[in-house]
Structure 1
Amino acid sequence: MKQDAFIQQLRQELDSLPKAEVDEIIADYREYIGDALAAGRSEQEVITALGDPVKLARELKAQASYRKWQQSRSFENLAHVIVSIAGLGLLNAMLLVPFMIYLSLLTACYAASIAFAIGGLIAAVGIGSHHLFGWPSFNAVPVVVMSHGHDHAEAADGASDDANDGLAANIKDIKIEKDVFVLTPKEGNDLSINTNAGGIEISRKNGKLEIVAANEGARALLIKGADGTVSIRRADATALELKSVDGSHMTLARSGKDGKSSIWEVSSGDGDHVRLEQDEKGKPKSLAIESGSDAIVIDGDHAALVGGKDRINISASSSMGGITFGSAVGMFAGGVIGLLLCIWLTRKTWRALVRYVHRQIDKISARLDSPGQAAR
């Protein structure tokens, strides 16, 4: 290869570099070739000693990328140096593939850690605000309506009102004050109490309260008030039954393992029925109101309104997916720890890459500065 062909191909391969830098490199090589020819070496010998202009251009571009990275140590400039080194075949493909997988996993860990940290923080703030101020509300209520008409639905509403009136009227005879049943049966109503000591019958006839107990032990469980009421501790009564003169019927039974939960049932003479289940703290767990073919059922976060062939299902669900404040804080802490670990790994990776680049550039510089190469 002649000198002009060598210089032309070298300039062509260096076209990605700034023109001033290319002109300086070409001038250095022209000077080197001129000095070698003046020393008595043949043109062919000098060009052959310089090697392939394509490979030489790659080594020179790697050096240029390295100098640019030294001036501005950014990840982008470091990536350009690594790509230049890889183009020389100095980066083993057996090492490159695992390294790319490692970078992909590190990027995924960054994304997951940031998502956990931000999500946990938002959830913790939202749950804390919800418990302290009642905002935001996390309850979304999806409603599913299956309807063949509206007449039955209106009937169901009327039935629920009637049943509620019946329940309220019957509960007036039985009140709960803390852990005590306060009994005030109305005229003509009969009240039965089951206790562990025996049964008790209470009624009011002609304005006079009558009490019939199976034994003195059962009678001793009753507490008579000055206002004409009779009380009994909830723990002593296993069940209550009230029969009204209008044909309605109400029962109250203890339930649950500890016997502190209760089930209220009210039936009217015309077939209406109400069932209310309460937990040990007196909070409603479920409510069912039935009147013929119409019904309203509320159980936990679900409710159903039935009127003949019409049915409305309502399900209340938490938009936070049941996340507790502790879970939100744990999510946030896990995200922060993961993010710190990713930053530590990034610093280690950066330092390892810098050391690798230094070693490879030193090898390239040694070849370029050796006899028979350019003295750059």
Structure 2
Amino acid sequence: MTRKEFLRQLEQALSGLKPEAVREILADYDEYFSDAQADGRDEAEVVEALGSPQKLARELKAQTHYRQWQEHRSFANLTRVVASIAGLGVLNFILAIPLLVYLLFLTVGYIASVGFLLSGLAVVLAWGSHSLFGWPQFTSDGSGWYIGRYGDSGAEMAWRSERDDHSGQVWIDKGLLMLEPDDGDRFELKTSQGALLLVSKSGGKLAVDASQPAVRELARIDDGQVRIDGGAIRELKLREDSGDVFTARVDDGKRLETLDVSAGGTVLKLVASGPNGSISLKDGDSTLEISERSIELKDGMDHIQIDALPGLSVGMSALVVGLMLLLGGSLGLVFCVWLTRLTWRALVAYVKYQIELVSGKGGENAAA
């Protein structure tokens, strides 16, 4: 191989490096040929001493990438050095495979740790939101029947129909239980003494009836609505013309106790207070039951049940699981960071050792 052919092949093998770096390397080896010829050595002898231009180019690339990494120590530059070293020979490439597998597992570890951390954070924040802000809230304003907020007026809604005309409503306004039934609807209200108060609408006309005159005085018709002292009512039952039934009860402390809804084949039962609070929702063959001790879902042949931790409610179990996820994610993330630092140091030591080997071999070639 002639000098010109050697330099041409070396230039092709150095593709990927910056043009100025390639020109500098070619100029050095062109000068090396000139010095060797001045010492009486012919081109063939110099080419034989230098070896394969492709192999020499791989060594020079590794050295160049190593210098770039020393000037700017980034992960991208280190990756180029490792790739260059892996390209020096089959053995180095085989040794690089376990490293790539290890880096893959390290990446999976990062993803899993961050996933645990975010999941735990979401669970703890949800639990904290319920504890601090009471959502969903089943407490009372003193008159009972409180479930949520209604509209922009600030009225507290106990129940609202899903009908398009927004009628058939029940809500609390300044301690008064407000009723606005549809035609054919009937309200049955029980007082704390067990007396019955009936509110109905037929032919567009509201009617109020009671088993006792004193109970009748609790209700007042005003502008198409019935206003009742909510503090005196313990149970409300709405029977709609469609056959749907809504029932709500409050306890002696005027807190919502139970809620029963039956509409279109769907049955919802809510026990809102006491140690055995629960929610049961049935829709055909599907059943969802949430209690203090478990969450159970049945859907045809499928049956999923999640039990609380021993001695804890579902809510406290969720908090404990959330905290465990937070702790596990945090520890996993710290461990991954520690492994990353250790891996970085090991890679730096390995790269330095390999480059010293390559540089020493290059020096021997030059000396030859």
TM-score > 0.5, shorter chain as reference:
yes
Letter in 2 for 1:339: L
Greater relative contact order, per chain length (Cα 8 Å cut-off, separation 6+): 1
**Map of 1:10 onto structure 2:** 10
Residue in 2 that maps onto 1:122 = 122
- The partner residue of 1:345 within 339, 345, 355 is 339
Alignment of structure 1 residues 140-179 onto 2, 5 Å: 158=186, 161-162=187-188, 165=190, 170=194
Q: TM-score, normalised by structure 1?
A: 0.55
Alignment of 1:150-299 (within 5 A): 158=186, 161-162=187-188, 165=190, 170=194, 298=269
Q: Which residue of 2 aligns with 1:185?
A: none
The 1:104/1:327 distance shift into structure 2, 3 A limit, reads same
Q: SS in structure 1 opposite 2:17?
A: coil
- 1:297-308 correspondence runs (5 A): 298=269, 300-303=278-281
Paired with 1:29 and 1:110, the residues of 2 have a C-alpha distance of 46
Secondary structure of 2:330 counterpart: helix
Output the amino acid matched with 1:334: G
SS in 1 for 2:332: helix
Give the C-alpha shift of residue 33 in structure 1.
Answer: 1.4
Cα distance change, pair 25–136 in 1 and its aligned pair in 2 (3 A): farther
Moved more, 122-131 or 65-74: 122-131
Provide closer, same or farther for how the CA distance between residues 282 and 97 of structure 1 changes in structure 2, counting only shifts above 3 A.
farther
**Equivalent residue, structure 2, for 1:356:** 350
TM-superposed deviation, 1:90: 5.7
Q: 1:367 pairs with 326, 351, 361, which one?
A: 361
Conserved? CA contact 1:288–1:295, under 8 Å: no
- CA–CA separation in structure 2 for the residues paired with 1:297 and 1:18: 72
* Structure 1 residue 45 displacement after superposition: 1.3
Q: SS in structure 1 opposite 2:40? A: coil
Query: Which amino acid letter does the alignment assign opposite residue 346 of structure 1?
Result: T
Q: Which residue of 1 aligns with 2:323?
A: 329
Q: Give the RMSD, CA atoms, in angstroms.
A: 5.0
Q: What amino acid is the match of 1:11?
A: E
Q: CA deviation at 1:363?
A: 0.9
Give the direction of change, closer, same or farther, for the CA distance of 1:114–1:91 in structure 2 (3 Å limit).
farther
Q: Look up the SS of the partner of 1:301 in the other structure.
A: strand
Structure 1 pair 303–51 and aligned structure 2 pair: CA distance change class (3 A): closer
Cα offset for 1:48?
Answer: 1.2
Paired residues of 1:286 and 1:297 also in contact (CA < 8 A): no
Name the aligned partner's letter for residue 298 of structure 1: K
Separation in structure 2 between the aligned mates of residue 105 and residue 296 of structure 1, nearest angstrom: 49
- Amino acid of the structure 2 residue aligned with 1:101: V
Percent identity between the two aligned chains: 42
Count residues in correspondence: 259
Structure 1 residue 20 displacement after superposition:
2.4
* Alpha-carbon spacing, 1:89–1:374, altered in 2? closer, same or farther (3 Å): same
Contact map agreement 2:10 2:53 (CA 8 A) in 1: yes
The whole-number CA distance in structure 2 between the counterparts of 1:128 and 1:374 is 71
8 Å CA contact 1:368–1:374 kept in 2: the answer is yes
Q: Give the 3 Å change call, closer, same or farther, for CA 101–18 of structure 1 in structure 2.
A: closer
Please say which of residues 48-57 and 326-335 is displaced more in the overlay.
326-335
One-letter amino acid of the structure 1 residue matched with residue 339 of structure 2: L
Render the CA deviation track for 1:295-340: whole Å, top value 9, x for unaligned: 97625312569xxxxx8x9968799x95632322222121111110
Give the conservation status (yes or no) of the 8 Å contact 1:296–1:303: yes
1:111 aligns with 2:103: no
For residues 91 and 120 of structure 1, the distance between their equivalents in structure 2, rounded to whole angstroms, comes to 44
Query: Which whole-Å CA distance do the structure 1 matches of 2:35 and 2:266 have between them?
Result: 107
SS of 1:79 mapped into structure 2? helix
Distance 2:266 2:108 in 1: 53
1:65-116 CA-to-partner distances (Å, cap 9, x unmatched) read 0000001111100000011111111654543333222111111111111122
